[in-house]
Structure formats: C-alpha cells, structure tokens
Amino acid sequence: MITEVLTVAAEAGETTHNPIIPLWQEVVLGLIAFSILCFVLMKFVFPMMEKTFAARVDAIEGGIKRAEAAQAEANQLLEQYKAQLAEARTEAARIRDEARADAEGIRQDILAKAREESDRIIAAGGEQLAVQRESIVRELRSEVGSLAVDLASKIVGESLADEARSRGTVERFINELGPAGSAGGRR
C-alpha cells in the first residue's frame, strides 16, 4: 500500500499537493471535530452506558441472589420442619410409652386395691357373721332358757317362783346341753 502511494505521489510530483504532507487547516479542523466528538460521547453517552450495564448486571445478579436466598431459606425451613417433625414423633412415642406404662401401673394399682378391698369386705363380713352369731346364740340361750322353764313348769306343774333357783336349774340344764348345741351351731 505504502509503495503504491509513493508511486502515485511520484507520478503526481509536479502537482501542488503531496498526499503524505497533511494540510494544516485539515489538521486543525480534524482536531477540533474529533475533540468535540470525544467530549460529547465520553461525557454524556458512554458513562451512561456503563451505568446502564451496571444496573442491568445488578438487576440480574440481584435477582439470582434473591432467588438463592429464598431457596436457602426454604431449605432451612424444610430442615427445621423435618427436625420438628422427628422431635414430635419421638415425643409422641415417648408419651405413648409413658401412657402405656401408666395404664399398666394404674391397672396393677386398681387390681391390688380391689383385691385388698375384697379381702377387707370378706374379713368384715366374717367378723360381722361371728358377732351376729354370738348375739343370736346369746338371744337363743335366754329364749331357750325361758322356753324351757315355761315348758318345764307346764310339764311339771310346779311354779318355779324362786328365780334364783330356777336360774340355777336352767344354767345347769344348758351347760349340760352346751357341748351338743355349740357343736351344732358351728357347723
């Protein structure tokens, strides 16, 4: 290219213009025009573009970051829920076991109490029976005594006015009967 230019220049040697010598007017104009261009573009246009680029990057990266944060939070919540669920499960199992143990204890307790109660009731019944028997025996004894006396007085026809005497007779009679009567009452 350069050699071509030089040959062209040589051919045009007799002309007033040399293509590789700049015209000073054009240098001045070029400098002014390019300075204006640089000033306007570098001051008003390209910084704005950088700002827009930055804003765009920010918007995109901000979105990604927000999404990542949300994801992390969701994961954390999930973990938390899982942990809580597991805890609740073990808790429930523990409560169930406890309840089962309690129920068993209570059952044993109630059984023991019932047995005790029944024992107590049986014992009380036996005692009462014995007491009643005693009183019945005592009643019978007096009744039998008077009956026997009446019967005897009727049979004998003789009044046994003297109480002391009659009592002594009856006592003696019953004592004679005693062994046979008590053996029959026990049965």
Q: Which residues bind other proteins (CB under 8 A)?
A: 1-2, 4-5, 8-9, 11-12, 15-27, 29-31, 33-34, 36-38, 40-42, 44-53, 55-56, 59
Looking at 1-45, list the stretches that DSSP marks H as alpha helix, in order from N- to C-terminal side: 2-11, 24-40
Could you tell me the smallest distance in angstroms from the CB atom of residue 23 to other proteins? 5
Which residues, including other chains, have CB under 8 Å from residue 145's CB and lie 6 or more apart? 170, 174
For the CB of residue 2, give the shortest distance to other proteins in the complex, in Å: 6
- Give whichever of 53 and 81 is closer to other proteins, judged by the CB atom: 53
Provide the minimum distance between the beta carbon of 66 and other proteins in the complex, in angstroms, as a whole number: 16
Where does residue 145 rank: exposed (0-12), middle (13-18), buried (19+ CB within 10 A)? Answer: middle
Half-sphere exposure (CA, 13 Å, Cβ side) for 24?
A: 0
Task: CB nearer to other proteins: give 12 or 67.
Answer: 12
- Give the phi and the psi of residue 23 in degrees, each rounded to 5: -80, 130
CB of 27 to other proteins, least distance (A): 5
Q: Which is nearer to other proteins, 64 or 130 (CB)?
A: 64
* 34 versus 81: smaller Cβ distance to other proteins: 34
Nearest to 5 by CA among 24, 21, 27, 16: 21
Nearest approach, Cβ of 87 to other proteins (angstroms)? 47
Q: Which is nearer to other proteins, 45 or 183 (CB)?
A: 45
> Could you give the CA distance from residue 72 to residue 70 in angstroms, rounded to a whole number?
5
